[in-house]
């Protein structure tokens, strides 16, 4: 069952074609344009959810990545509030993804901002978990709903017993804290089956779907079978 998606930023350049974010996000951060770009992504996400609702498509949780500059922006929460009101989309249809590194720049301020977002119903997710320096012990003091296990622990699950132990332990401990878990980078049926054995809640990766344009996602089925995935 499809329950959500992640909004990814791409730049369709008239001469260079499709430009990926690792080429322009650092420039946006250096130039101070990241806040305007971030707000644009947030607004387009709310706009898209309203569009889906108008078409009668099944509801999804749409995740958006937040940079440290956005998280520290005093206008972030008021802007998100205005989007909830403008598009009449409840906050629980939006998720914000923050990396561990972003959190650790100022964890006290981050906690305050995340609590305000959480009060709007926003889902708070920690992205690329396991690659930073935070711990589940620190996360228990933050309003976190979801952990995304970094793909580096998932891609070799079938062969690396250490990765299996780490992934299984993260899932078990997160569940003890009532935090759901997504495994990133799922690229095979074997990985998916192993994650099911570990009681992982959700999966994301090329085995399920590669990044696709909005127009194609409108036609993406709410439920997909294993045969659908294997034939894709």
Residue 71 CA: distances (Å) to CA of 104, 145, 208: 11, 17, 30
% residues pLDDT > 70 (the chain) = 94
CB atoms within 10 A of CB 11: 14
Residue boundaries of the structural domains of the chain: 4-231
Question: Residue 203's pLDDT is what?
Answer: 96
The torsion defined by the Cα of 51, 57, 58 and 60, in degrees rounded to 10, comes to: -30
Q: What class has domain 4-231?
A: alpha beta
Positive or negative, the CA dihedral 126, 94, 122, 106 is positive
Q: How far apart are CA 45 and CA 94, in angstroms?
A: 8
- Is residue 42 within 8 A of residue 79, CB to CB? The reply is yes
pLDDT digit string, tens, across residues 141-166: 889 999 999 999 999 999 999 999 99
Q: Return the pLDDT at 231.
A: 65
pLDDT recorded at residue 232: 56
Pairing assessment for the beta strands 11-13 and 94-99 based on DSSP bridges: unpaired
pLDDT mean over 126-134: 79
| pLDDT for position 130 | 82
């Amino acid at each position: 069952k499809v329950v959500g998606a992640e909004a990814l930023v791409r730049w369709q350049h008239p001469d260079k074609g499709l430009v990926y974010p690792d080429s322009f996000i650092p420039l946006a951060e250096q130039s101070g344009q990241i806040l305007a770009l971030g707000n644009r992504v947030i607004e387009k996400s709310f706009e898209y959810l309203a569009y889906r609702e108008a078409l009668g498509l099944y509801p999804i949780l749409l995740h958006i990545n937040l940079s440290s500059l956005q998280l520290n922006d005093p206008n972030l929460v008021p802007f998100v509030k205005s989007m909830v009101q403008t598009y009449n989309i409840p906050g629980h249809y939006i998720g914000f993804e923050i990396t561990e590194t972003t959190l650790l720049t100022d964890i006290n301020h981050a906690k305050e901002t995340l609590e305000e977002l959480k009060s709007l119903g926003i889902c708070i997710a920690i992205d690329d978990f396991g690659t930073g320096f935070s711990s589940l012990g620190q996360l228990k003091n933050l309003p976190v709903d979801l952990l995304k296990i970094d793909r580096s622990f998932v891609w070799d699950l079938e062969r690396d017993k250490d990765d299996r132990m780490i992934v299984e332990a993260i899932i078990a401990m997160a569940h003890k804290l009532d935090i759901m878990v997504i495994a990133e980078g799922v690229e095979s049926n074997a990985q998916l089956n192993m994650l099911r054995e570990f009681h992982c809640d959700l999966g994301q990766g090329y085995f399920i779907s590669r990044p696709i344009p909005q127009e194609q996602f409108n036609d993406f089925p709410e439920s997909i079978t294993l045969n659908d995935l294997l034939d894709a």
